[in-house]
Structure 1
């Protein structure tokens, strides 16, 4: 019987910030962990926020002014700035706002309703994966996954591929250094995107995963429906399919089973996992 795997402790929000509301958290393209925390000032639909960045055990703060996202997602830009997107778009306001390294808002734009994933790459481009409410009702979200420049210029979008079903929801999105991997509902294929070319499509035997990691010919799917929230399926890539090799549980670092809401970020060979109260990140690295 295959042995279960354990997460490795990766990053923690400094205890001095534990009393603040965690609005969102992520791990960026360079491995730095970020927490977006609500500040003390709230004025109408604007509020102050602070991004706490933890890198190799060191932490720093970036204070953001005039944040307006109701359902915020955050990621870092390579120039030291940040992008904050609202998961739900509004007709009367920009949905995505770019903040410079001093936390000042610079410009905004709209990328489409129902943003489920927001991941920046090393060049600063934004990869956005959408869930079903946007895919079926918003022309910007309809492709299911898109790439945007940090100035709001469309750079790439998914187009229908032969041999796979409809794209109704981006369940998992992995933005690595050399490739982006997309795992969409309803058929759950694994799509490999390189250099803006049409995706390389592989069938996959796993349904409902929330994270995917890829290293060479090796692949791991994390998560699933119901009791499979901590399932880990390991396999190999062929030209046309994912061949499963073993199925185990991905446990907490102390060996206990995880449960409840999770936040998952996929980056190349790594899957980062965060549980409530969302103050710690654990790591699985198949590389």
Structure 2
């Protein structure tokens, strides 16, 4: 099997390596963000709000910092909104915290909205319009939902017969107005576009945790392999497989992913670095 190496994308500046990384992502415009705390969480910390720092690295290497006040989760999902604000969501519900599971901060780091989207968040990705796409895992099989940044439910997969029953949203890709997903149990490729019925194609990857789409081509990240395919009207035809490696070679290992159009961003190691696989390259 041939290998495909990730291309280096962004790195947390060394000046912040003494802080604890709570979460990290790459936004819809390609900027990488790290949510940092002064220390690692301890038992009981989830009951007390704390101040955190977001370090953002843009294309070209420009670094920006944003201080967030009164963050309420030590196990967050993070993304940046188009207006420069941030969304921080607790992947798991906590008793008494249902109304503030999701916190929205403005560009100055001030909390502006809080709301609840449901337990067991596996994926949270903001699109270029600022809406939030949330994919849930199997401990709360809500499927995929789209929310406004003020907490209004805009779309739900369970309301669209084409989506089928989604037990666990394994892979989610959000870019522009197009959303792609590969859910458990049958792992179909779902194409989701606002205002249209969900399009469902028979998939080729049994357990992909990320995917990239470019034209009629699709690539799944499945247990450390890139599985290439080509879309037809109702299915995906398998083309070839490749082993994904770090930029310097070697297995990626434990990772975090953010899928955006033709790109799969992969955070690896202690989550201070992001590499990218680009299907369009």
TM-score (norm 2): 0.92
Question: Where does residue 232 of structure 2 map in the other structure?
Answer: 238
Which residue number in structure 1 is paired with residue 190 of structure 2? 191
Distance in 1 separating the partners of 2:202 and 2:159: 15
Please state how far the C-alpha of 1:101 moved relative to its aligned partner.
0.6
| TM-aligned CA deviation for residue 264 of structure 1 | 0.8
1:55 aligns with one of 54, 58, 65: 58
Cα RMSD (Å) of the superposition? Answer: 1.9
1:88, 1:115 within 8 Å by CA — same for their partners in 2? yes
Q: Distance in 2 between matches of 1:268 and 1:234?
A: 15
Structure 2 SS opposite 1:159? helix
Please give the alpha-carbon distance, in whole angstroms, between the structure 2 residues aligned to 1:118 and 1:165. Answer: 20
Please report how far the alpha carbon of residue 223 of structure 1 lies from its aligned counterpart in structure 2 after TM superposition: 2.3
Contact kept? 2:78, 2:124, Cα under 8 Å: yes
Q: How much has 1:196 moved relative to structure 2?
A: 3.5
Distance in 1 separating the partners of 2:36 and 2:106: 17
Once the two structures are superposed, residues 208-253 of structure 1 have per-residue CA deviations (whole angstroms, 9 ceiling, x without a partner) of 11110000001000122xxxxx111011000101101001101111
> Structure 1 CA distance, aligned partners of 2:64 and 2:145?
31
In structure 2, what is the Cα distance between the partners aligned to 1:96 and 1:258? 30
Unaligned runs of 5+ in 1: 136-141, 225-229
3 and 147 in structure 1: CA distance in 2 versus 1, 3 angstrom threshold? same
CA deviation after TM superposition for structure 1 residue 164, in Å: 8.0
Secondary structure of 2:139 counterpart: helix
Q: How does 1:24-173 map to 2 (within 5 A)?
A: 24-39=23-38, 45-56=48-59, 57-93=61-97, 94-135=100-141, 142=142, 144-159=143-158, 166-173=165-172
Partners of 1:149 and 1:208 in 2: CA distance = 29
Match of 1:248 in 2: 242
Change (3 A) 1:104 1:39: farther
* Range 179-188 or range 84-93, more displaced: 84-93
Aligned to 1:12: 11
Query: C-alpha distance in 2, partners of 1:163/1:11?
Result: 37
Q: How does 1:188-267 map to 2 (within 5 A)?
A: 188-224=187-223, 230-259=224-253, 261-267=254-260
Of residues 195-204 and 168-177 in structure 1, the stretch that sits farther from structure 2 once superposed is 195-204
The Cα of 1:149 is off from its aligned counterpart by 0.2
Name the SS of the counterpart of 1:16 in structure 2.
Answer: helix
- Residue in 2 aligned with 1:227? none
Q: Distance in 1 between matches of 2:208 and 2:66?
A: 33
1:275 is displaced (CA, Å) by 1.1
For the 8 Å contact 1:166–1:187, the answer to whether it is kept is: no
What is the aligned residue count?
A: 273
Find 2:275's aligned residue among 245, 262, 282. Answer: 282
- Note if contact 2:157-2:163 (Cα within 8 Å) is conserved in structure 1: no
